[in-house]
Chain A
Amino acid sequence: MTDTGDQVKKPLHPAAASSQAFQVADIRPTERLFDDPEGRDRLEKVLSRYPEKRAALLPMLGYAQERNGWVSDESMAEIAGALDLTPAYVRSVTTFYTMYNRHPVGRHLIQVCTCISCHLDEADEVFERFLSETGTRAGEISEDGRYTVIEAECLGACGFATAVQVNDRYFENVTPEKVPAILDELD
């Protein structure tokens, strides 16, 4: 079964501003986050939900990645400025969390859960198959820029092993044999 996190097209409700998917194929690389109305609107809506500015940090790091595909030093500095935090503090938070990419990744970030329940299934074989089919080593971007394959800790889909996350989508009950079809489905 596959669910997709489709975005609603109407204006973003403030209650939803801190929960936008930040691992997406459709990235729009941008030099600065808050120079356009969209960025300023997101910042304002996120800030409206918390009594302290600092709480907007994770949502804004997510926003940087949603736009750029990763969180650059420039984005961290810009977010630090917007939230009255030091760049060093922002870096300490960014690097604590595994989902913020500190380097660009392929358009499709493929994360194979190899934690215990998936390990008991065929996760290691699924992971190897993704690497061989994409011709990459773990963490590399494939030559055509389409794929990066990494191992993930528990994705919370243990009853549907092996679980694979591709950007904001889940693929479940994945076997090594199903890997080529999944790759074909991704543009």
Chain B
Amino acid sequence: MGYPYSHDLEVGTLLSRHFGNEKARTLEGWKELGGYATLPKALEMDPDAITEVVKNSGLRGRGGAGFPTGVKWSFMPKEPSGAHYLCCNADESEPGAFKDREILRWVPHLLIEGCLIAARAIRAEHVYIYVRGEFFPFSAILRDAVVEAYEDGYVGQNILGSGWNCDVTVHLGAGAYIAGEETGLMSSLMGGRAEPWIKPPFPAQSGAFGRPTTVNNVETLAAVPMILAEGADWYRQWGTEKSPGTKLWCCSGHLERPGTYELPLGVNLRDVIYEVCGGAPDGKKIKAVIPGGSSTAMLTAEELDCSGCYEGMAEAGSALGTASPIVMNEDTNIVQAMRRIAQFYAHESCGQCVQCREGTSWTAKILHRIEEGDGTVEDIDTLYHLCEQMTGRTICPLADSVVFPLLSSLDKFRDEYDALIKR
């Protein structure tokens, strides 16, 4: 079931089955619910066979980029010449996204089991679960679960008598959105500013501590145990050919029933907004939806009939991102909303790249000026020019993240900008 609501369209049997059930938080309760049943199987399998199952399942990264997980794992060296690491990205901080926190706080052992199976597949000896600092209540639940797993022999030395050793450490961030970018995360983990680095070298060649590393999102890793238990074909009964499986949709903004829902990929976005979440409260009409978290292109209410999967959202001119629709009703001032989004990215730019550091802050300033009624027609041209300069010219995609919503708002809601400028 979703949290705090549920809906008939949901596939509530996978990730979200035990959301809301406090029993699932303890090792004892979790085992009663059937937890840790897949790890013994993984320990008997050849690591590459695990990767093969995940590859065949078509599971794609749930952190936003949608890269095929099994393929990512297969980049790791097969003959380790030293330590390998797995980093679990729990730095959930994309505005609109609040799905990983539900996994952390309701089913921490599901995540731990997923981490261990992934670590086994990529021959990692240590898993670092990097949780955003603000998530204290949720990282505490995860941390206690990890300690319990150590005490019961699921983590640490000679796991379940298999002779295999793997450590798990919960590591807290300290308030930096950019630590959610995989190289930024590793910079931060290593005790640095969370500055992304240019790839190559790719993490699988030289990642955390200069060693081969895989970085996977919480939701991705949490899906691994059931894929391994039930098989790739089982997982493919949901979703589309190119986007198999289920996805946690976290819906916020002007909605009757905001929350996290587990829905099959390929679900119609309009159904998510109107059927599952009940549309906007108080009988208001919906003006715009940012479908995949604040870094994706806005859609108008007329554009919502699209397939909620990686390829479907791309066809619609936006992106699935983290499947985090932010819904704005008819009363929303689009320029103000866009200014608030730009302000976020200006605050979170790490400052390495000029295009991003200057581009995001000037975008926010210009939008603020327009919002206050002091904008000029030239400001619109400047915004378009900034978008051009910020796209694809930086180390990481943070600058692009403000361009997608900004360009779409200019293209689709130009009348709102013009009205404020003419005022």
**A90: nearest residue on chain B (CB-CB)?**
B191
Q: How many interface residues does chain A have, given as a range?
A: 35 or more
Q: Are A119 and B340 in contact (CB under 8 A)?
A: yes
A23 to B174, CA, bound (A): 10
Residues of B within 8 A of A158 (CB): 95-98, 250, 252-253, 258, 324, 326
A6 to B138, CA, bound (A): 11
CB of B290, distance to nearest CB on chain A (Å): 8
Residues of B within 8 A of A167 (CB): 136
Q: Are A120 and B328 in contact (CB under 8 A)?
A: yes
Residues of B within 8 A of A98 (CB): 174-176
Given known pairs A115-B340, A120-B253, the reply for A165 and B134 (CB within 8 Å) is yes
**A168: nearest residue on chain B (CB-CB)?**
B136
Q: Are A22 and B191 in contact (CB under 8 A)?
A: no
Interface of A is mostly: loop
Which of B98, B133, B191, B294 contacts A93 (CB under 8 A)? B191
Q: Mark B83-108, 1 if CB is under 8 A from A, else 0.
A: 10000000011111110010001000
Within 8 A of B (CB), among A1-36: 3-8, 13, 15-16, 18-23
Given known pairs A157-B101, A158-B95, the reply for A5 and B140 (CB within 8 Å) is yes
Residues of A within 8 A of B17 (CB): none
Within 8 A of B (CB), among A131-165: 152-161, 165
Q: Are A57 and B101 in contact (CB under 8 A)?
A: no
Q: How many interface residues does chain B have, given as a range?
A: 35 or more
| Total residue contacts A-B, CB cutoff 8 A | 191
Which of B132, B192, B253 contacts A54 (CB under 8 A)? B192
Residues of A within 8 A of B93 (CB): 153-154, 156
A99 to B324, CA, bound (A): 25
> Which A residues form the contact surface with B (CB < 8 A)?
3-8, 13, 15-16, 18-23, 49-52, 54-59, 61-62, 83, 85, 92-93, 96-100, 114-117, 119-120, 152-161, 165, 167-170
> Which B residues form the contact surface with A (CB < 8 A)?
83, 92-98, 101, 105, 126, 131-144, 146-147, 150, 155, 167-177, 188-194, 209, 211, 250-254, 258-260, 290, 294, 324, 326, 328, 332, 337, 340-341, 344, 347-348, 350
